[in-house]
């Protein structure tokens, strides 16, 4: 009986200690110490907004009144690709990173009921920015993010405060051998040519995009393809991605207009390019200097998803560039 009473007393003491101010005091002390040591990481928040009946997901961080940095992701990923960069930029910048419909946490409507085109994506991003009352923004464009961002720039050329280009193409020199089967599909939209591109949606190709050309494979988190592939494998998503492969061909005729925007508006531009990328090779990087001769260019010993491998090199370049080119009004 005495042992039972002792056990009950011990439990009462534990609960009493748990409810005391000791735990909050430790938490506050830790928080104070973190601030003193500069260790506080900006909070990233996660949101969904309805745009014309489609739920569009986006990540957001940083001061609401700071200059906006818009992060536009590539294939086959989502805003998830920016998860490590966002807190780094959010100390001084208002960072917004959406998922396009069919990617990430955004809705993926049936391809027969939704217009899966790059122009529609640009319009959706434009609508999102309108809902957030964003009137000016720097853009980080990568892969699919380049034509989405550049179409947005054509629509609102005076809203683009700066460009960060990472393996995002705007020149025909950048469409090499990897694109040959896709070009065949653009030229001849047959079931056979469409089916031939199914390999680009397979798990082995998703992993390839993350690992090929990387300077150190140990830097690459396997959760990347573990995250992307189940979303690609959602029912109906094959047709979504195949529609987008076909529509990518509509970007190429716009390359001269993209280049005209570069020449006329001369946005401050930082180019950070994974030089080992087989999808958007380095051949597509140097032509930017024809139209943006003052662009800052850095070739990195990495592949397509450079942020996964070279964040310690890229983050200081990006932050320094933004610090020099953007100013708070």
Does 287 map to a domain? Answer: yes
Does 246 map to a domain? Answer: yes
Q: What is the mean pLDDT of residues 1-11?
A: 45
| 3-state SS class at 298 | strand
Share of residues in the chain with pLDDT > 90 (%): 86
Does 31 map to a domain? Answer: no
- Which range, of 7-11, 34-38, 92-96, 168-172, averages the lowest pLDDT? 7-11
pLDDT at residue 1, as a whole number: 47
pLDDT at residue 7, as a whole number: 47
Cα–Cα distance between 224 and 77 in angstroms, integer?
8
Residue 304 a catalytic site member: yes
The predicted-structure confidence for 117-149, as pLDDT tens digits, reads as follows 999 999 999 999 999 999 999 999 999 999 999
Share of residues in the chain with pLDDT > 70 (%): 87
pLDDT at residue 41, as a whole number: 78
Measure the CA angle with vertex 285, ends 281 and 290; round to 5°: 145
Q: What is the CATH number of the domain that holds 115?
A: 3.40.50.1820
Which residues are within 8 A (CB) of 269 and not within 5 positions of it... i.e. 6 or more apart?
162, 163, 164, 165, 262, 288, 292, 294, 295, 296
Does 256 map to a domain? Answer: yes
The predicted-structure confidence for 30-84, as pLDDT tens digits, reads as follows 445 555 656 667 899 999 999 999 999 999 999 999 999 999 999 999 999 999 9
Does 12 map to a domain? Answer: no
- Which range, of 26-30, 110-114, 166-170, 184-188, averages the lowest pLDDT? 26-30
Rounded to two decimals, what is the model's pTM?
Answer: 0.88
Domain that residue 160 falls in: 44-325
Cα–Cα distance between 48 and 26 in angstroms, integer?
35
| 3-state SS class at 254 | helix
Does 9 map to a domain? Answer: no
State yes or no: pLDDT of 313 exceeds 50.
yes
Confidence band of 307 (pLDDT split at 50, 70, 90): very high
State yes or no: pLDDT of 3 exceeds 50.
no
> Which residue in the list 73, 111, 304, 319 is annotated as catalytic?
304
Which residues make beta-bridge pairs with 45?
60
Q: How many domains does the chain have?
A: 1
């Amino acid at each position: 009986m005495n042992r039972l009473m002792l056990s009950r007393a011990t439990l009462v003491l534990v609960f009493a200690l748990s409810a005391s101010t000791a735990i909050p005091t430790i938490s506050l002390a830790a928080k104070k110490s973190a601030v003193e040591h500069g260790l506080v990481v900006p909070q990233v928040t996660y949101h969904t907004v309805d745009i014309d009946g489609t739920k569009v997901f986006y990540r957001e961080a940083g001061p609401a009144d700071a200059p906006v940095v818009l992060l536009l992701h590539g294939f086959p990923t989502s805003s998830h690709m920016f998860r490590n960069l966002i807190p780094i930029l959010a100390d001084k910048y208002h960072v917004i990173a959406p998922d396009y419909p069919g990617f990430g946490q955004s809705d993926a409507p049936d391809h027969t009921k939704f217009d899966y085109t790059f122009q529609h994506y640009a319009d959706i991003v434009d609508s999102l920015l309108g809902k957030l009352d964003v009137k000016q923004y720097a853009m980080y464009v990568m892969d699919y993010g380049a034509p989405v961002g550049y179409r947005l720039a054509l629509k609102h050329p005076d809203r683009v405060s700066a460009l960060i280009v990472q393996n995002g193409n705007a020149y025909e020199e950048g469409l090499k051998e990897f694109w040959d089967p896709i070009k065949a599909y653009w030229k001849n939209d047959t079931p056979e040519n469409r089916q031939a591109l199914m390999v680009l949606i397979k798990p082995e190709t998703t992993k390839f995009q993350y690992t090929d050309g990387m300077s150190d494979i140990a830097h690459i988190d396997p959760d990347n393809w573990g995250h992307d592939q189940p979303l690609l494998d959602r029912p109906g998503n094959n047709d979504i991605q195949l529609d987008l492969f076909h529509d990518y061909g509509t970007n190429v005729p716009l390359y001269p207009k993209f280049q005209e925007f570069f020449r006329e508006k001369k946005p401050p531009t930082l180019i950070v390019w994974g030089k080992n990328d087989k999808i958007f090779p380095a051949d597509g990087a140097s032509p930017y200097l024809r139209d943006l001769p003052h662009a800052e260019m850095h070739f990195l010993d990495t592949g397509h998803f450079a942020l996964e491998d070279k964040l310690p090199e890229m983050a200081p370049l990006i932050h320094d560039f933004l610090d020099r080119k953007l100013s708070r009004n």
